Amino acid sequence: MSLLARFLHSSGVNVTGTDRSPSEVLLSLEANGINVWTGFQPEKTGRPDAVVFSSAVPKTDPEYTYLRSCGVPLFERFELLGALSDRFGCSICIAGTHGKTTTTAMIGKVLSDCNKKIFVHVGGECNDIGECLNTGSDYFVCEACEYKKSLLALRPDVAVILNAEMDHPDTYSDLTEIYNTFDLFLQNAKHRSIKVINADDPYYELRQKQNAPVTFGISPNATFHIANIREQGGRYGCDIEYCGKVLYTFDLSVSGRHNLYNGAACAAVCALLQIPCNVVRESISAFSGVKRRFEYKGEFSGVKIYSDYAHHPTEIAAALKTAHEVTRGNGRIWAVFQPHTFSRTKALFMDFCKALNDCDKLIIVKEYAARETIECGMSARALFGRMERKDKYYKKNVMDAAAMLIKETAPGDCVVVLGAGDVEVLCQLLVPTV
């Protein structure tokens, strides 16, 4: 939402906005000349020409109901995103259950490094391109989010699918429905569009192989083949082969094997856009990541703290695997996990249990309910109670979790803070200079 507000403001539109609580994002918007406030104040909204709201806003919101009663046109965020994307020469839309933010930021960095005129809409704060990158109207680069099927509002020139797994059980009943939605996303792409898909993901084999899209992956049959993989201290490098020849060689500056796929997707898109190979290679190698993607936050008393947005079992498993590679068995790994939404916790319960076993000590913090109530699924307390493992602890808030970590951790230990809610505050409590 904040990125769209910035884009409209920079385009000469009079923008105002509201949120339920203060934040650094609101302060930043205000510093940029956008009138914002907190709480429910319908009288401050006036009679705008249009209102854009996020999926987190309930239909009972006082400002929403007031504006609807006034007959003001109301649009969900993804509807505006779809309309804006058509104003650009080339829309590059990245879909998938995991990796969208990192891959979008990577592509944005490459295009920025070769001075292309772009607008990047990314769901995270990027170390290389900041919160918002808006330099022109040639390329529109954005995440194509599957929640509420919002990606179907987009008609990309380049459509990327990184992977497809079961998630958002409040939107999808099963994996088949997710596959169907990704199929529609590709069908919605513009005539003669480019489709880029992970050749190693079951979605490609089951749904798209017969359509012969451009592919990337470790599979030897991938159009852009990941070869000669190497790893040092949790950071990976590889060659990207095209037609049997090495097109790129890069060594990532960000940790985690999963980022090889993000890098390969970025490389494939940039090759198809005919971006110079040396720019692609150097830009991907120098990419310094996105906030809360296995982000090193600092240390206290010899204990290293990492923060990761992981809120799906596959993402948790990847973060903890990276922690093992970084620490190399020196010290214990503490996982602090805050479940995000009741429905996801229930739908993926067994997968959560498996992923969260790959640590020495586990702390589960009371869930971040977001848009849901307990009737939607399973609480963090219920997940904790049904997990069959020792060395597990339940904490009702991040303050209690911080107190335990300060008392129980030892020099050399590693703490990985996991979740998409307010569990991030824990890092600030442990490393106050963050």
Q: How many CB atoms lie within 10 A of CB 399?
A: 12
Domain of 356, CATH number, reads 3.90.190.20
Tell me what the mean pLDDT of segment 116-135 comes to: 82
Regarding whether 318 and 335 lie in a shared domain, the answer is yes
Using an 8 Å Cβ cutoff, are 81 and 153 in contact? yes
Would you give the distance in Å from CA 405 to the centre of its chain?
27
Q: Is the dihedral of CA 309, 312, 316, 317 positive or negative?
A: negative
What is the mean pLDDT of the segment spanning 338-362?
95
Residues 151 and 94 placed together within one structural domain of the fold: yes
pLDDT in tens, 157-178: 999 999 999 999 999 999 999 9
Sequence letter at residue 68: R
Q: How many C-beta atoms lie closer than 10 Å to residue 325's C-beta? A: 17
Residue ranges making up the domain that contains 16: 2-72
CB 266 within 8 A of CB 110: yes
Average pLDDT over residues 89-109: 95
Mean pLDDT of the chain: 92
- Which of 232, 258, 286 terminates a domain? The answer is 286
Question: Distance between CA 216 and CA 261 in Å, rounded?
Answer: 8
- Are both 350 and 387 inside the same structural domain? yes
Q: What integer pLDDT is reported at residue 58 of this predicted model?
A: 82
Q: Taking 50 as the threshold, does the pLDDT of residue 399 lie above it?
A: yes
Stretch 55-63: mean pLDDT? 84
**What whole-number distance in Å separates Cα of residue 417 and Cα of residue 308?**
6
The pLDDT of residue 192 is above 90: no
What percent of the chain lies above the pLDDT cut of 70? Answer: 99
**Are 49 and 85 members of one domain?**
no
Q: What is the pLDDT of residue 314?
A: 96
Q: What is the CA radius of gyration of the chain?
A: 22
Between 310 and 370, residue with greater pLDDT: 310
Same domain flag for 312 and 342: yes
195-202 mean pLDDT = 98
Q: Are residues 114 and 214 in the same domain?
A: yes
- Average pLDDT over every residue of 366-370: 90
362 and 356 Cβ atoms separated by less than 8 Å = yes
- State percent of the chain over pLDDT 90: 72
Confidence (pLDDT) at 433 = 67
Is it the case that residue 54 has pLDDT exceeding 90?
Answer: no
Provide DSSP, 282-340. HHHHH---BTTSSEEEEEETTEEEEEE---SHHHHHHHHHHHHHHHTTSSPEEEEE--B
Name the domain count of the chain: 3
Q: Are 220 and 115 contained in the same domain?
A: yes
Domain boundary among 72, 104, 132: 72
DSSP summary character for residue 369 = -
Round to whole Å and give the CA distance between 71 and 87.
27
Provide the pLDDT for residue 369.
87
pLDDT tier for residue 51 given thresholds of 50, 70 and 90? very high
Q: What angle do CA 59, 64, 66 make, to 5 degrees?
A: 120
Residue 246 and residue 354 share a domain = no
pLDDT over threshold 50, residue 434: no
Q: Average pLDDT of 221-243?
A: 96
